[in-house]
Structures are given as structure tokens and as C-alpha cells.
């Protein structure tokens, strides 16, 4: 019984935190400057306050922190040039194993300049690019359906020396055949090696849109019953001997009355080979689904992920997350609570509880 007291206190603190934060008023004004020369710039922010309790080595690790704290900006330079940037200070205030708290140094996470000569058939993005190795890895953190990305959606990021899934480079991006086909082709730094002698990294993606296309830099996690989207994508990521190939599907369907269902499935096969020895050969899977109920603004969701190593000496892992979002302000303001369980072959399962408040404006 005494061992349950800390966790009970944490749950009460999480609920109190959530009840207090749901009183946050929605923000409707747009912070934008429009000079008379046709250019523009607007600003925004993303704040995700999180309370969590995790099983760590038989103990309960408890934290109150900012999962993400970002300042965003974007706009037009002229009719052909636009830009987007954002900073981040992830896990600000989260406790480390040694007892210290993350100081949360703020850094530039995205900076993209887009050249659009005319129409949507060709765009050229230059800068720090979020990498569409899978659908989930290119989603906007502000529009996620579950409490967070899949746990294996960015396992390639560290070995490739990408920065939180971003890499430096140039990308051609366009929408053709009546916007039904999206193409993306990028040349990026990748890991440079001694004296920067490694070949550049190449990332290519095709996505077939049955209905409406998503023409922004990032994909959505859910539109909360407002859009009909059905897409099938395939990606290839390669540098020297490293390669990832993947396929994915995303379906967002209004159901009448403002309700909607969202389903996503991503599969990828990764092999770092000798070039990225820290990325062993593996197959990863993500499946998530949710149902938005507009009348009560609730979004129940479930997410399942698994990581299957080719080497039998490595322990396969999986995770299941179930939760619900109270989308009282849509993606601008919402509260999500979730329970997750991590499994490791030959090991004990580990539980996690998350409560996350999101305040977003852009």
C-alpha cells in the first residue's frame, strides 16, 4: 500500500493540472504583420505541458515538464518565396536519471525557404527539413491524434545525425495529375564522416491521394472530422550502405454531425549495414486509430507499435497506447490522457501514464 501512495499522488496532481488548464481561454487573434509590399510574417507558439508517471527499473519516475515549447514564424517574402521557422526546447524541466532537470536549451528546429515559381506542380524547399521517411515522421506535432509520435518513427534520426528528424538540404516537392500524386525528392547532408567525405543522403517519396491533397510542409494527424483524406505512400531513404524503405496509408473520414474517424498504418524496413552500425536491420510497424465525437469533443484513440530485429540476439519490443483527448479548442487547446505499456521479449512490461495539455496558435 505505501508503494502506491506516490503514484496515487501523481495521478491526483495530473488530474488537478488538467482541470486547471482546461480553463485556459481559446485564442482567436492572429499575430501577423503585412507591409504594403506584399510580404508578410506571422508568429505563433506551441506549448505542450505534460505530467507523466513511468515504470523505470521497478520504480515510478514522475515528472511535470514541457514536452514541447516552440516559437513559430512564417510568411511570404514575395509571390514566389515563402518561409517557415520554429524553435524548440523539448522536455524542458524533465528530470534525468542523475536527479538534474533538463535546462532545455532552445534551438532552431525548422527553417525552410520555399520557392514556388507558379502552380503546385513544383516547389523547392531549402533549409532544415523534417524527413518524410514515413507518414508519421512527417506529421505536425500540433495535429497529432495520439499523445505523441510512434516510439520507432525516428529510430534512424540519431545514427544519421539528423536533428530530431530534421536534416539540412534541398527538396523538390509537387502535386500533379489533378493533385492526386504527391512527389518529394530530397538531397541532404546525412552523416558526413571523416573530413565530410561521405556521399550525400537521398530521400524520395510518392503519395497517392484519393481525395484532397495535403500541400503543406507537414502532414496532419487528424482533421477532427473536417476533411476527407485517403492516401497511400511509399518512401526510400538511402546513404551509402544504409537504406530504409517503407509504405504507409492514412485515412481521415467525416461521418456526419461533425464526427470523424482517423486510421493510420506505417511499415518500414531499416538496415544501417556497416555504414550505420548502430542501426541494426529491423522491421517497424505503427498502427493507430481514433474516433472524434463532436458533440462532447472527445477523441478516443489507440496506437500500437512494434520493433522486430533481424538479429535473434536482439530483443524485439512493442508498445500499446490507449487514451482520449478532450478537444475543447480543437488543436488549438486540448487535453489528452493516455496509458501505455512497453513490452520487451524476455523482459517485464513497463507502464506509463501521460497527461498532456496543448496550447497552440499559428
What is d(CA 46, CA 98) in angstroms, rounded to the nearest whole number?
28
Establish if 319 belongs to a structural domain: yes
Establish if 191 belongs to a structural domain: yes
Residue 103 has what pLDDT?
Answer: 85
Residue 37 has what pLDDT?
Answer: 80
Contacts of 303 (CB under 8 A, 6+ apart): 146, 150, 286, 287, 288, 319, 320, 321, 322
Nearest to 215 by CA among 164, 178, 253, 255: 178
Establish if 255 belongs to a structural domain: yes
Residue 254 has what pLDDT?
Answer: 97
Residue 228 has what pLDDT?
Answer: 97
> Which CATH number do you get for residue 278?
2.40.160.10
Number of domains in the chain: 1
What CA–CA distances, in Å, run from 11 to 47, 247, 348, 359? 21, 38, 23, 21
Establish if 32 belongs to a structural domain: no
Residue 15 has what pLDDT?
Answer: 52
Residue 105 has what pLDDT?
Answer: 84
What CA–CA distances, in Å, run from 113 to 74, 117, 171, 307? 9, 13, 10, 35
What is d(CA 154, CA 56) in angstroms, rounded to the nearest whole number?
22
Segments of the chain scoring below 50 in pLDDT: 1-6, 8, 10-11, 17, 20-22, 24-28
Residue 29 has what pLDDT?
Answer: 52
Residue 70 has what pLDDT?
Answer: 97
Establish if 77 belongs to a structural domain: yes
Establish if 82 belongs to a structural domain: yes
* Cβ-based neighbour number of residue 197 at 10 Å: 7
Domain range for 301 is 4-23+38-361
Summarised one tens digit per residue, pLDDT across range 121-179 is 999 999 999 999 999 999 999 999 999 999 999 999 999 999 989 999 999 999 999 99
Supply the DSSP string of 285-338, one letter for each residue: EEEEEEEEBTTTTEEEEEEEEEEEESSTTSPPEEEEEEEEEEEEEEETEEEEEE
Establish if 28 belongs to a structural domain: no
* Cβ-based neighbour number of residue 277 at 10 Å: 9
* Length of the chain (residues): 362
End-to-end distance of the chain based on CA atoms, in angstroms?
Answer: 46
Amino acid at each position: 500500500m505505501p508503494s502506491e501512495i506516490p503514484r496515487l499522488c501523481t495521478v491526483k496532481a495530473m488530474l488537478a493540472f488538467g482541470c486547471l488548464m482546461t480553463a485556459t481561454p481559446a485564442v482567436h487573434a492572429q499575430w501577423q504583420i503585412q507591409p504594403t509590399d506584399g510580404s508578410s510574417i506571422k508568429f505563433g507558439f506551441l506549448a505542450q505541458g505534460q505530467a507523466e508517471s513511468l515504470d523505470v527499473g521497478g520504480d515510478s519516475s514522475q515528472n511535470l515538464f514541457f514536452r514541447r515549447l516552440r516559437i513559430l514564424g512564417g510568411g511570404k517574402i514575395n509571390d514566389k518565396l515563402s518561409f517557415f521557422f520554429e524553435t524548440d526546447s523539448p522536455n524542458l524541466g524533465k528530470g534525468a536519471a542523475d536527479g538534474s532537470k533538463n535546462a532545455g536549451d532552445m534551438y532552431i528546429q525548422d527553417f525552410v525557404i520555399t520557392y514556388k515559381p507558379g502552380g503546385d506542380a513544383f516547389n523547392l524547399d531549402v533549409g532544415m527539413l523534417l524527413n518524410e521517411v514515413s507518414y508519421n515522421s512527417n506529421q505536425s506535432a500540433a495535429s497529432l491524434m495520439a499523445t505523441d509520435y510512434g516510439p520507432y518513427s525516428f529510430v534512424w534520426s540519431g545514427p544519421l545525425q539528423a536533428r530530431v528528424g530534421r536534416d539540412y538540404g534541398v527538396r523538390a516537392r509537387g502535386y500533379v495529375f489533378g493533385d492526386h500524386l504527391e512527389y518529394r525528392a530530397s538531397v541532404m547532408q546525412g552523416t558526413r564522416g571523416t573530413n565530410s567525405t561521405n556521399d550525400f543522403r537521398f530521400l524520395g517519396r510518392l503519395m497517392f491521394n484519393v481525395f484532397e491533397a495535403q500541400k503543406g510542409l507537414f502532414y496532419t494527424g487528424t482533421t477532427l472530422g473536417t476533411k476527407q483524406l485517403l492516401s497511400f505512400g511509399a518512401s526510400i531513404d538511402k546513404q551509402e550502405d544504409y537504406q530504409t524503405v517503407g509504405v504507409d496509408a492514412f485515412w481521415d473520414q467525416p461521418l456526419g454531425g461533425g464526427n470523424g474517424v482517423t486510421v493510420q498504418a506505417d511499415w518500414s524496413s531499416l538496415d544501417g549495414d556497416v555504414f550505420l552500425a548502430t542501426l541494426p536491420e529491423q522491421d517497424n510497424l505503427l498502427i493507430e486509430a481514433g474516433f472524434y465525437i463532436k458533440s462532447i469533443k472527445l477523441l478516443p484513440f489507440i496506437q500500437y507499435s512494434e520493433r522486430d530485429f533481424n538479429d535473434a540476439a536482439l530483443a524485439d519490443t512493442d508498445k500499446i497506447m490507449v487514451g482520449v483527448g478532450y478537444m475543447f479548442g480543437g488543436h488549438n487547446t486540448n487535453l489528452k490522457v493516455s496509458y501505455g505499456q512497453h513490452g520487451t521479449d524476455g523482459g517485464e512490461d513497463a507502464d506509463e501514464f501521460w497527461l498532456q495539455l496543448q496550447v497552440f496558435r499559428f
